[in-house]
Structure 1
Amino acid sequence: MRNFLTVLKRTLAVGAVALAAVSLQPGTALASDPGPHPGPSVVGGTTAQQGEFPWMVRLSMGCGGSLYTQQIVLTAAHCVNGTGANTSITATAGAVDLNSSQAVKVKSTYVLQAPGYNGTGKDWALIKLAKPINLPTLNIADTTAYNNGTFTIAGWGADREGGSQQRQLRKATVPYVDDTACQRAYGGSLTPGEEICAGYLQTGGVDTCQGDSGGPMFRKDNAGAWIQVGVVSWGQGCARPGYPGVYTEVSTFAASIKSAAAGLGRR
């Protein structure tokens, strides 16, 4: 597992801004937070339009996610505590404004954390909901063909390192960073083949941040449809020059995700 004081998952944590790196999932610190705060999220982002990314999900522990099916959310393994029955998570979808009357809220029933997850790589999980949410779903990449170019990121996380969670969904675009450059940036901490990097390596300024963990990184496929290529995982701070964001490489785990989702569907 990576040194906790050097690189954290992008989870919210009290005092996280004082650490060398910041995770992207709020965790227990969010429990005492009265709720989302107005303002931007996704560092360097702009406001998403209602209905622009209808498969985006906000999870009550402070993570993001995407609708893999109308009843299963794809998120990050570090956002959940193992595999098993779980009715404590609330998924909010259907609105860019979390306080909107259009927002749909559904409880979880079961969580499946990636088999073999130990804090390094394999950072994906599935959450089954108590009932389907009647919204479009987001397809996942099952080959490496789309692991390049420019990606879109979106979330309700912090707009700056150590900042507050947000009420309005924000979006931004980030370019692919190859494994060699990303490995060099992180001193060998990358897990090639399981993680993919994106961001403005030289200048920084645009990135996912605390509270965006588990959300999708996506781009258009050859048919012009959105396809998910990454799951927000970790990074050195937020939007720092020299440190791109690190995402779970979805194509590597596509078969495992599909099989796990089929099993959840029968549960």
Structure 2
Amino acid sequence: MISQEWLLTAAHCINNDLFNLPLAALWTAVLGDWDREMEELTEERIPVEKIILHERFHNFQHDIALMKLSRPIKFTSKTRVRAVCLPNKRLTHNQTDFCVATGWGRDLEDGLLAGKLLETKVPVHDNAICKKKYGHAVHIRSGHLCAGHLDGSTGTCVGDSGGPLQCAMSDGRWILAGITSFGSGCAKPGFPDVYTRMSYYLPWIKTKMKTYRSDLRKRYG
């Protein structure tokens, strides 16, 4: 969540080889969840009103999408939901103490999706490392962020796509540095993961949110 009514995710979670579902009426956001297998009384379900895919999304390029909730959620202790800060400048591999990737993906490549939210600490790398590993299949550009352990000890896995990469800054703030996009499948040694870099897409995010609000004012006065 980046505000009380806007969510970010990966575009390929909405449009991929198996399905293309950019219709907002088909989506409901479940906020404040931790254990998917039980009702914790902290969840809030809000229908999605609008989905905005990046217009140049293709083959993990511009892998980003916005979701507008049908109503804003209130940030209270009951819901346990907060908005994450967006970065104001490009994050480099020497600017953060550590980053945390979270998701309900598999903990083993052939395992099941997790019931409880998983997290893992990962280091940020120069994009040249991911370019060397994945450049034959996906052209690594400035809009990508390379992060993950090179020894294969931990990382994101199948089912984590669209989840956040949050980084602790030296001043104590946490920022949303990236969105889980793709990787080796499940933390293979020598292969870090690739995220959509938030600082690169900040202008796109702000423009789309502003344009949507402007269109609503014109439509309803």
TM-score (normalised: structure 1): 0.69
1:87 aligned counterpart, secondary structure? helix
Correspondences of 1:79-98 after superposition (within 5 Å): 79-81=13-15, 85-98=23-36
Give % identity: 32
Q: 1:130 aligns with which of 70, 83, 89?
A: 70
**Alignment check: 8 A CA contact 2:129 2:146 kept:** no
Correspondences of 1:26-41 after superposition (within 5 Å): none
User: Residue in 2 aligned with 1:229?
Assistant: 177
CA deviations over 1:128-174 (Å, ceiling 9, x no partner): 11111223201111311455442111111111113222221111100
* Residue identity matched to 1:121: Q
**Alignment check: 8 A CA contact 1:197 1:247 kept:** yes
Question: How far, CA to CA, are the matches of 1:119 and 1:187 in structure 2?
Answer: 12
1:186 counterpart = 2:142 = no
* Residue identity matched to 1:194: G
CA deviations over 1:100-140 (Å, ceiling 9, x no partner): 22111111111000121122321110011111122320111
Which structure has the larger Rg?
Answer: 2
**Alignment check: 8 A CA contact 1:182 1:190 kept:** no
1:144 counterpart = 2:90 = yes
1:228 aligned counterpart, secondary structure? strand
Question: How far is 1:190 from its partner?
Answer: 4.0
CA deviations over 1:222-267 (Å, ceiling 9, x no partner): 4312101111000111110011111011111111111112233454
For structure 2, the residue ranges without an aligned partner over 5 or more in a row are 76-81, 217-221
User: Residue in 1 aligned with 2:2?
Assistant: 68
Question: How far is 1:197 from its partner?
Answer: 0.9
1:127 aligned counterpart, secondary structure? strand
* Residue identity matched to 1:138: V
Going from structure 1 to structure 2, the CA distance change for 1:69 and 1:139 (only over 3 Å counts) comes to: same
Q: Which has the higher mean CA deviation after the structures are superposed, 245-254 or 139-148? A: 139-148
**Alignment check: 8 A CA contact 1:109 1:129 kept:** yes
Question: How far is 1:84 from its partner?
Answer: 6.0
Going from structure 1 to structure 2, the CA distance change for 1:265 and 1:96 (only over 3 Å counts) comes to: farther
1:115 counterpart = 2:55 = yes
1:262 aligned counterpart, secondary structure? helix
CA deviations over 1:41-91 (Å, ceiling 9, x no partner): xxxxxxxxxxxxxxxxxxxxxxxxxx1111111000111147965111111
1:206 counterpart = 2:146 = no
**Alignment check: 8 A CA contact 2:166 2:177 kept:** yes
Q: 1:197 aligns with which of 116, 131, 146?
A: 146
- Equivalenced residue count is 200
* Poorly superposed stretches of 4+, deviation over 4 Å: 82-85
1:144 aligned counterpart, secondary structure? coil
**Greater RCO (Cα-Cα under 8 Å, separation 6 or more):** 1
Question: How far, CA to CA, are the matches of 1:110 and 1:265 in structure 2?
Answer: 12
Question: How far, CA to CA, are the matches of 1:243 and 1:146 in structure 2?
Answer: 18
* Residue identity matched to 2:67: I
Question: How far, CA to CA, are the matches of 1:127 and 1:137 in structure 2?
Answer: 14
2:26 aligned counterpart, secondary structure? coil
* Residue identity matched to 1:70: Q
Going from structure 1 to structure 2, the CA distance change for 1:264 and 1:222 (only over 3 Å counts) comes to: farther
* Residue identity matched to 1:74: L
For structure 1, the residue ranges without an aligned partner over 5 or more in a row are 1-66
Question: How far, CA to CA, are the matches of 2:73 and 2:93 in structure 1?
Answer: 29
Q: Which has the higher mean CA deviation after the structures are superposed, 125-134 or 75-84? A: 75-84
